[in-house]
Amino acid sequence: MPIRSIWRTLAVLAVGALTAVLLAPAAVQAAPRESRPVYSYADAVRESVWVDTGLDEDGDGRTDRVAADIVRPAEPARQGRKVPVVMDASPYYSCCGRGNESQLKTYDAQGHVVQMPLFYDNYFVPRGYAFVGVDLAGTNRSDGCVDVGGRSDIGSAKAVVDWLGGRARAYTSRTGGTQVKASWTNGATGMIGKSWDATIANGVAATGVKNLKTIVPISGISSWYDYYFAQGAQLYDGGPDELAGYVESGQAHCAAVQRKLADGSPDSGDWTRLWTERDYVKDARKVRASVFLVHGMQDLNVRTKHVGQWWDALAKHGVERKIWLSQTGHVDPFDYRRGAWVDTLHRWFDHELLGYDNGIDREPMADIERHPDQWTTSAVWPPRDTRTTTLYPARGTTPGVGTLGPGRATGTETFTDDPSRSETDWAADLTRSTPDKAAFITPALTAPLRISGSSRVTVTATPSTASAHLSAVLVDLGPDTIRDYADGGEGITTLTERTCFGASTAGDSACFKATAARTADVGATVVSRGWADLGHHASPAKGTPLTPGHAYTMTLDLAATDHVVPRGHRLALVVAGTDKDLIEPPATRPTLTLDLARTTARIPLSGGPAALDRATIAPLAGRTLTVVGTPRCLTGHGDGCTADADR
């Protein structure tokens, strides 16, 4: 990972001091390694600007302006020095709130921000950064319309990055006002945020905008199609038009935009131009910013398919990157690993925005939570020895419960779609014959087996009706204590005491409710899952009715993960129909017959076939392993991947 140029270090030299006084000349000082809280948060400049986006999405005849609320230290500007920016662009600042405590922006009588949600301003402003909270177009105090990841969403945030870099215009009011320049910043900007905010960071980075130095997307979307559909299978019964209406700030004139959103996202699950515009993965080659990606491996809101495909694309194009993977659901790391998170984020921004050589670029690429509050690291992710290894299902002595191992088998298994059953039910009934699933299980492992990356399951299935949905689920069969991601807290419990990170004012506290891991004792753990509409077997762009009695082959993309199946546990593959509460059921209730000779699971294993052999799966029936893909492919998305696995 290249070290940032030294000029940014010289521009903010006093940030590394222990007091607010100016340092001696840089020539006699050691290079700073950490920004310190030497600036006054109470005296920070609080101001608002409205940036011209160049768009007129609300059709009122004038270009839309988006509001950017700014908190920045006063001292550097008085001393003739410029500061970098941490920025969070969000649609949630007035409708729904940010963070575990759903904080909203609040303002004084002059319209200046009093409370900025989350800890970013409290912590980083005293350390010589500005914080900028951007209201996405159509929300809070911004003009325009919400278009859910499209040109208005991304363009409104990009316009602020451009303004910070001196390439766009901003004004002191929403209409009219005096033009204002960001003369207090050196333009170096890092974007951060969770969920929709993280998605905006991904999308802005994918434009290739200048002066965006890094992004930290937490639980972010990389392609909006994959938020609403899984290979044609509908994940939610609502669409982007409903989401836009939920966050918009009373813009009745945005009805036309919402109609376009509805028309462009048909329930059929077909790929349309709307989804192409909102696919950031295809533009990964444009990304100039480094990426520190954070995600919960049990996030069932923004599934980890978004992680796998985005990470692969970034790796392919040599983007600097770092990753944290937790056992939680849709949870911010501030609420499951607070102290370590603040320290790591601080060092990341110091390195990426201030150019400090603090060594974070030479540390392991990945932090992975193995058990609640127990973390491990990987020098690169996935590990360099990861190989995509093919396992095959075979019939067993119990109907619907077979074996999983190397070498092709013959025969069939049959199941009937039951929309009342979920992956949790299937996992609980793995060794029991039930009509709604087909399960295939390895023998007990004699050595741990690490799955690292994205798996693919190819099935050949014959439906009894004209429509069918498929689910493929990998399960770790064995007792464990995990974060209870299915609980309302998605793996955390919020406590009453508070911990403080940064400086406070009367209107903006740096103290937040502490949390603890919420755990559950289980007999089986769902490791990864994927879904598809069999009618989209030929193309993601267009689904077609099925011919009952005809066999179709389709490959399901399973979500990225990093999981170790322990010694003594078993690895299982479940193939079934509707996964209750995670995909919508098809129009019919088909019975599907699997051709086991043409059904495979391609799993990225650390150590590949050799690791599988050590875990004593290889001796099963004396069959031979098959390795698919190349050793350099990171997470299994595409054979022949030549990404730099050594970064």
Residue 438 identity (one-letter amino acid): A
Q: Which of 555, 557, 542, 550 is nearest to 592 (CA)?
A: 550
pTM of the predicted model as reported, rounded to 2 decimal places? 0.91
| Structural domains in the chain (count) | 2
User: Which is catalytic among the residues 299, 312, 429, 533?
Assistant: 299
Distance of alpha carbon 421 from alpha carbon 399, whole angstroms: 18
471 is catalytic: no
User: Which is catalytic among the residues 195, 223, 467, 528?
Assistant: 195
DSSP E strand stretches across 399-486: 401-405, 412-416, 437-441, 449-453, 456-463, 469-483
Over 70: is that where the pLDDT of 17 sits? Answer: no
Selected residue with higher pLDDT from 18 and 361: 361
Q: State percent of the chain over pLDDT 70.
A: 90
Which range marks the domain in which residue 245 is found?
Answer: 40-213+233-267
Residue 30: strand, helix, or coil: coil
The model's pLDDT over 539-578, given as tens digits with 9 standing for 90+, comes to: 988 999 999 999 999 999 999 999 999 999 999 999 999 9
Is the dihedral angle over the CA atoms 419, 421, 426, 429 positive or is it negative?
A: negative
Provide mean pLDDT across the span 385-391: 96
* Predicted pLDDT of residue 58: 85
152 is catalytic: no
The residue whose two tokens read 């050594």 is: 646
Q: Is 1 within a domain? A: no
* Predicted pLDDT of residue 623: 43
> What phi and psi, each to the nearest 5 degrees, are found at residue 333?
-60, -20
| 526, 520 Cβ separation under 8 angstroms | no
* Predicted pLDDT of residue 10: 34
C-alpha separations of 88 from 36, 158, 195, 196, 243 in Å: 22, 12, 11, 10, 19
C-alpha separations of 514 from 185, 339, 368, 492, 496 in Å: 34, 11, 21, 10, 7
Over 80: is that where the pLDDT of 251 sits? Answer: no
| 83, 185 Cβ separation under 8 angstroms | yes
The model's pLDDT over 79-114, given as tens digits with 9 standing for 90+, comes to: 999 999 999 999 999 999 999 999 999 999 999 999
User: CA-based Rg of the chain, rounded to a whole angstrom?
Assistant: 26
* Predicted pLDDT of residue 241: 95
Long-range own/partner contacts, residues 114-118 (CB < 8 A, 24 or more apart):
114/46, 114/505, 114/507, 114/508, 115/507, 115/508, 116/69, 116/71, 116/508, 117/93, 118/88, 118/334
- Residue length of the chain: 647
Q: Is 426 within a domain? A: yes
User: Which is catalytic among the residues 295, 330, 351, 469?
Assistant: 330
| Token output for 528 | 């990864």
Q: What is the DSSP string of 148-189?
A: SSSHHHHHHHHHHHHHHTTSS-EESSSSS--EE--TTEEEEE
Q: Which of 125, 100, 149 is nearest to 47 (CA)?
A: 125
* Predicted pLDDT of residue 641: 34
Distance of alpha carbon 359 from alpha carbon 175, whole angstroms: 46
* Predicted pLDDT of residue 526: 98
Distance of alpha carbon 235 from alpha carbon 585, whole angstroms: 9
Q: Is 369 within a domain? A: no
For residue 629, what pLDDT band results from cuts at 50, 70 and 90?
very low
Distance of alpha carbon 143 from alpha carbon 476, whole angstroms: 49
| Distance, CA of 608 to chain centre | 26
Residue 404 identity (one-letter amino acid): L
The model's pLDDT over 26-80, given as tens digits with 9 standing for 90+, comes to: 444 578 899 999 999 999 999 999 999 999 988 889 999 999 999 999 999 999 9
* Predicted pLDDT of residue 600: 97
CB atoms within 10 A of CB 166: 13
Cis peptide before 382 (omega within 30 of 0): yes
Strands 185-194 and 83-90, bridge-based pairing: parallel
Over 60: is that where the pLDDT of 21 sits? Answer: no
The model's pLDDT over 441-488, given as tens digits with 9 standing for 90+, comes to: 999 999 999 999 999 999 999 999 999 999 999 999 999 999 999 999
Residue 454 identity (one-letter amino acid): S
Phi-psi region of 598 (alpha: psi -120 to 50; beta: other; left: phi over 0): alpha
* Predicted pLDDT of residue 408: 86
Give the CA angle between residues 177, 183, 188 to the nearest 5°. Answer: 120
* Predicted pLDDT of residue 616: 64
Distance of alpha carbon 514 from alpha carbon 496, whole angstroms: 7
C-alpha separations of 551 from 407, 411, 547 in Å: 22, 14, 9
Q: What is the DSSP string of 370-405?
A: EETTEEEEESSSS-TTEEEEEEEEEEEEETTEEEEE
The model's pLDDT over 477-536, given as tens digits with 9 standing for 90+, comes to: 999 999 999 999 999 999 999 999 999 999 999 999 999 999 999 999 999 999 999 999
Over 90: is that where the pLDDT of 22 sits? Answer: no
CB atoms within 10 A of CB 466: 15
Enclosing H/E stretch for 415: strand 412-416
The model's pLDDT over 155-178, given as tens digits with 9 standing for 90+, comes to: 999 999 999 999 999 999 999 999
Q: What is the CATH number of the domain that holds 98?
A: 3.40.50.1820
Q: Is 345 within a domain? A: no
330 is catalytic: yes
Distance of alpha carbon 403 from alpha carbon 145, whole angstroms: 53
Q: What is the pLDDT of the chain when averaged over all its residues?
A: 91
| 57, 257 Cβ separation under 8 angstroms | yes
The model's pLDDT over 576-595, given as tens digits with 9 standing for 90+, comes to: 999 999 999 999 999 999 99
Q: Is 347 within a domain? A: no
Q: What is the CATH number of the domain that holds 583?
A: 2.60.120.260
Provide mean pLDDT across the span 405-411: 88
Residues 103 and 237 reside in one and the same domain: yes
- Torsion angle (degrees, nearest 10) of CA 223, 224, 230, 233: -160
For residue 407, what pLDDT band results from cuts at 50, 70 and 90?
confident
Q: Is 633 within a domain? A: no
Write down the H helix ranges in 322-459.
338-353, 423-428
Q: Is 283 within a domain? A: no
Q: Is 458 within a domain? A: yes
